[in-house]
Amino acid sequence: MSAPPTVAVSIVIPVYNEELNLPTLFARLYPVLDALGRRYEIIFTNDGSADRSFALLQAQHAARPDVTRVIDFNSNYGQHMAIMAAFERVRGDVIVTLDADLQNPPEEIPKLLEKIDAGFDYVGGYRLNRQDSFFRKYASRLINLVREKTTSIEMTDQGCMLRAYGRPIIDAIVRSGAINTFIPALAYSFSGNPTEVGVKHEERHAGVSNYSFYSLIRLNFDLITGFSIAPLQYFTMFAMACCVGSGLFVLVLAIRRAFFDYTAAEGLFTLFGVLFFLMSVALLGIGLIGEYVGRTYQVVRARQRYHVRETLETKPA
Ligand code: UDP
Ligand code: MG
């Protein structure tokens, strides 16, 4: 369980190979927070970076030990695990998540806090004029649509990590012990009074996205299978429709063969077509079930989700 709140705002930032971005991030983030006039802390999780990121974080901790905390993972566990580790340790009343690559401008944080002050317990950002590749934009629009249809989560922009949460939501997330999780959606499911605000979006300050096509697919599988069993149900319904359809088709072929005396070869290839189609449906189904079984296995196994090598922090006064 995380510590009781001792500061007003906790900023949570996952860091993976961001040595080129961190200096600018520090230079822009701290002044914004200093100007808030609230007690704050910033928790960076170094998600197994292979570059100088951790050294930069160490130096930053030495420069601002009062407000800087660093969690160092022994290897790369992914953005959402990095955020989880920070959630388990936050001391703030309000928690804000943000990317390290400056795609979420730190200057937008006060906007989110205003909404929290107005009584909302979850403030999701959505990116105004999103600065990503054409492919990422359209792929994520598609995924948004699938998510809307399969889960009851309403989010304009699930990919935007600039979000603010009330402490009870973070405590609920930590208690849930979720694995393979997609934090914005999980938080939404615990929220009683959510809202959204438009936030600016900038191009990645430096470097390239850490998400490959493959890890994006994995993340979206997490999102959809983690929050609903609708895919399984759709699949079953689709399989039933296929069974009825192909059953009728076979019947028609048999009747034609029996009563209208067509040559034996006619229809054979159609049958092959039907057969291959049904086979691929079956394979898809096995894969889908496998996804759920795999996830169940991970939860049942209850293995430690990540390993923290070191934490740099000053004990609260
Ligand atoms: N990140 C992380 N672990 C990873 C991948 C990414 O902690 O395995 C961090 C990364 O440093 C950044 C944020 O998650 O702060 C978003 O990553 P990225 O910019 O690569 O994703 P994109 O903006 O392309 O979705
Ligand atoms: Mg980014």
DSSP characters over 210-257: S--HHHHHHHHHHHHHHH-SHHHHHHHHHHHHHHHHHHHHHHHHHHHH
Predicted pLDDT at 262:
63
For the Cβ of 18 lying below 6 angstroms from any atom of ligand 1, the answer is yes
Predicted pLDDT at 81:
92
Identify the nearest ligand to the CA of 204 by its number.
Answer: 2
Give residue 132 CA to ligand 2 midpoint distance, Å.
Answer: 9
For the Cβ of 15 lying below 6 angstroms from any atom of ligand 1, the answer is yes
Element (H, E) at 95: strand 92-97
Question: Residue ranges of the alpha helices (H) in 53-98?
Answer: 53-63, 79-87
Give residue 311 CA to ligand 1 midpoint distance, Å.
Answer: 20
Give the residue whose CA is nearest to atom 21 of ligand 1: 209
Identify the nearest ligand to the CA of 19 by its number.
Answer: 1
Identify the nearest ligand to the CA of 140 by its number.
Answer: 1
For the Cβ of 140 lying below 6 angstroms from any atom of ligand 1, the answer is no
The atom of ligand 1 lying closest to the CA of 77 is 8
Q: Which residue ranges form the domains of the chain, and what is each CATH number? A: 7-228+303-312 (3.90.550.10)
Distance CA 34, CA 16 (A): 25
Q: How far is CA 37 from the centre of its chain?
A: 31
Predicted pLDDT at 2:
64
Nearest to 204 by CA among 96, 139, 127, 95: 127
pLDDT tens per residue across all 317 residues of the chain: 567 788 999 999 999 999 999 999 999 999 999 999 999 999 999 999 999 999 999 999 999 999 999 999 999 999 999 999 999 999 999 999 999 999 999 999 999 999 999 999 999 999 988 878 888 888 878 878 887 877 778 888 888 999 999 999 999 999 987 776 789 989 999 999 999 999 999 988 888 888 877 787 877 777 777 777 777 778 888 888 887 888 888 788 778 777 876 665 566 777 787 888 888 888 888 888 888 888 787 777 777 778 999 999 887 76
For the Cβ of 101 lying below 6 angstroms from any atom of ligand 1, the answer is yes
